Amino acid sequence: MIYMGDLLPSGRINFLLIILLKLFVSFANAEESKKLIAFDYAIADTLSALHQPPIAMAGLAQYRRFYRDPLLPEARELGNRFQPNLEYLAALEPDAILISPPAHLNLENKLSRIANVRPIRLLWKGQKVWESLENMTRELGDLSDNQQRAKELINDVEVALAVMAEQIKRTGEPLFVAQIIDDRHLRLYGSGSLEDMVLTRLGLENAWQGPTNDWGFSTLTISEAFQLEGRFILLNPAYSQYLTDSALPTSGLWQHWLDDLPISIEVNYWSWGGFPSALRFAEALVDALDEAGDSAPAPRR
Per-residue pLDDT tens digits for 257-285: 666 666 888 878 888 899 999 999 999 99
Domain contains 78: yes
Helices (H) and strands (E) in the chain, counts: 11, 12
Q: Residues 162-175: pLDDT tens digits? A: 999 998 877 678 99
Residue 61: strand, helix, or coil: helix
The confidence score (pLDDT) of residue 283 equals 93
Of 130, 163, 196, which residue sits at a domain end?
Answer: 163
pTM of the model: 0.81
Q: What is the mean pLDDT of the chain?
A: 81
CA-to-CA distance for 68 and 84, rounded, in angstroms? 24
Closest CA to 54 of 35, 67, 41, 71: 35
Angstrom CA distances, 179 to 46, 69, 207, 233, stand at: 24, 21, 14, 9
User: Cα Rg for the chain, rounded, in angstroms?
Assistant: 20
Of the listed ranges 23-27, 43-47, 202-206, the one predicted with least confidence = 23-27
Distance from C-alpha of 194 to C-alpha of 45, rounded to nearest angstrom = 14
CA distance 149 to 171: 35
Q: Could you say which of 116, 134, 163 is where a domain stops?
A: 163
CATH number at residue 131: 3.40.50.1980
pLDDT tens-digit series, residues 43-83:
999 999 999 999 999 988 877 776 666 678 889 999 988 89
Residue 14 reports pLDDT greater than 80: no
Full domain range(s) for residue 198: 170-295
